[in-house]
């Protein structure tokens, strides 16, 4: 975050009604109106900067209009790797010098060469480190709500997340999913055309194989890519955009874990809550297998065969 030497005013402009399209259609012109007014009334007095942030309503509108976009999550794990940290992220994916270099190159490519890429902005830790990395390298990313596509307790209180995934499922566009085998049921949940399996730990170890498979599938206009492969997702985003900028990419991260795996983050809902929320999308055979597994575990605990 930049330091304040004198004084500043930060003003947020949010629509009063969720369905309003005024900012969606005219954010640049609205900002220019405000800027022109202040410059005319107070000439040579102020520096003005615009910082825009979007959320799930924005991306839903984009999707409905068939406008491509990229949502990418350079989280604290990626940031630590990019500034030379050692060890591994919270999902036990190891940092390396090679991954560090690839993450930095991918960040530069995505936020300097494309105007439809949105950086997921987290508000927990290492915020100042992130802002210093961005400003010191001259990046000017567009921002998005970090949690807008995650299955969290706060996101299943209304239908916005469900509505977006229903749109995604019903889309006739080609959909490619990159993630671990534990999420194979996402294929039926969202009508995925191609499922590329990656290791649940250290997905980046198979980066070359994944990129080759993506190329073999062909990166065609209007394809939709859904990525759940930890830090490798950011690098793959950059590679895909180089091959064809007219695609949609969703870096979902741990978004499907509580639905088809286990809870991997503190704010994720229980499997029962996930089922109740996503019941019209969750494959029936998955629910059956989960119930059968639970019954088998119960029988074993009771000493039955």
Instruction: Extract the tokens encoding 277.
Output: 């929320």
Model confidence pLDDT, tens digit, residues 103-141: 999 999 999 999 999 999 987 778 888 888 888 888 889
pLDDT under 50: residue ranges of the chain: 288, 291-301, 304-305
Closest CA to 69 of 242, 222, 253, 177: 222
Q: Is 45 helix (H, G, I), strand (E, B) or coil?
A: coil
Contacts of 80 (CB under 8 A, 6+ apart): 89, 95, 126
Burial class (CB in 10 A: 0-12, 13-18, 19+), 132: middle
Question: What's the CA gap between 53 and 58, in Å, rounded?
Answer: 10
pLDDT at 290: 57
Q: Would you say 275 and 287 are in contact if contact means Cβ atoms under 8 Å apart?
A: yes
pLDDT at 114: 96
**Unique residue bearing structure tokens 């490798």:** 232
The pLDDT assigned to 292 comes to 47
Output the pTM of the full model: 0.90
Dist. CA 151–CA 265, nearest whole Å: 10
According to DSSP, the residues that pair with 120 across neighbouring strands are 144
Q: Are 172 and 289 in contact (CB under 8 A)?
A: no
């Amino acid at each position: 975050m930049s330091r304040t030497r004198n004084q500043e005013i930060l003003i947020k402009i949010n629509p009063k009604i969720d369905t309003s399209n005024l900012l969606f259609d005219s954010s640049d012109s609205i900002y220019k109106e405000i800027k022109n007014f202040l410059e005319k009334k107070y000439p040579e007095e102020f520096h003005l900067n615009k910082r825009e942030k979007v959320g799930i309503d924005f991306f839903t509108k984009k999707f409905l209009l068939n406008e491509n976009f990229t949502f990418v999550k350079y989280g604290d794990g990626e940031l630590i790797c990019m500034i030379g940290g050692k060890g591994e992220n919270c999902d036990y994916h190891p940092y390396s010098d090679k991954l560090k270099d690839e993450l930095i190159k991918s960040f530069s490519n995505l936020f300097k060469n494309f105007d439809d890429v949105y950086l997921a902005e987290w508000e927990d830790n290492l915020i100042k480190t992130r802002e210093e990395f961005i400003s010191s390298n001259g990046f000017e990313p567009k921002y998005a709500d970090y949690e807008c596509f995650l299955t969290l307790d706060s996101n299943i209180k209304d239908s916005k997340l469900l509505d977006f995934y229903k749109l995604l499922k019903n889309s006739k566009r080609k959909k490619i999913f990159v993630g671990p085998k534990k999420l194979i049921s996402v294929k039926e949940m969202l009508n995925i055309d191609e499922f590329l399996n990656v290791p649940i730990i250290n997905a980046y170890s198979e980066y070359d194989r994944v990129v080759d498979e993506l190329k073999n599938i062909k990166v065609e206009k209007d394809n939709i890519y859904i990525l759940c492969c930890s830090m490798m997702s950011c690098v793959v985003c950059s590679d895909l955009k180089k091959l064809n900028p007219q695609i949609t990419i969703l870096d979902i991260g741990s978004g499907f874990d509580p639905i088809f795996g286990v809870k991997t983050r503190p704010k994720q809902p229980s499997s029962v809550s996930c089922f109740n929320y996503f019941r019209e999308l969750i494959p029936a055979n998955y629910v059956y297998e989960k119930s059968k597994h639970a019954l088998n575990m119960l029988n074993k605990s009771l000493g039955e065969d």
